[in-house]
Amino acid sequence: MAGRYLGGANSLVQAVTELGGGYWVLTPMRDDRGFTILVNRGFVPQERKAEFQQEGGAGAPAAVDGRLRSSEPGGGFLRSNDPAANRWYSRDVA
């Protein structure tokens, strides 16, 4: 998909990986037709959180190739999503 990242719209999802604690950086990207997808731009360590809370990558055209993942509202975790508290444990596009 080719489009532009929406500036200032990053979501940081807390994660623990083999690199330690940190965040997955998720940024919406919109194409020329107005279709928007959420792009996982990778992992950042805890100490770099502030950089990615403000940065959105808006402006310059960008292209991504990747895997499109659909909703998985049941998820693989023992908790349910709690939209009112903005707590998400599985993908629920709706």
What's the pLDDT tens digit per position in 5-63? 887 788 888 888 888 899 988 888 998 898 888 888 889 999 998 888 765 556 678 89
Per-residue model confidence (pLDDT) at position 38: 85
- Sign of torsion, CA 61 66 71 76? negative
Classify residue 65: in a domain, yes or no: no
* CA dihedral of residues 60, 69, 46, 89 (deg, nearest 10): 140
Per-residue model confidence (pLDDT) at position 55: 59
If one counts the domains in the chain, the total is: 1
Classify residue 16: in a domain, yes or no: yes
Classify residue 17: in a domain, yes or no: yes
Q: How many other CB atoms sit within 10 Å of the CB of residue 44? A: 17
Classify residue 49: in a domain, yes or no: yes
pTM of the model as a whole: 0.67
Classify residue 62: in a domain, yes or no: no
Q: Which residue has the tokens 């349910």?
A: 80
Per-residue model confidence (pLDDT) at position 51: 84
- Sign of torsion, CA 74 75 76 78? negative
User: Which residues form the domain of 21?
Assistant: 2-55+70-85
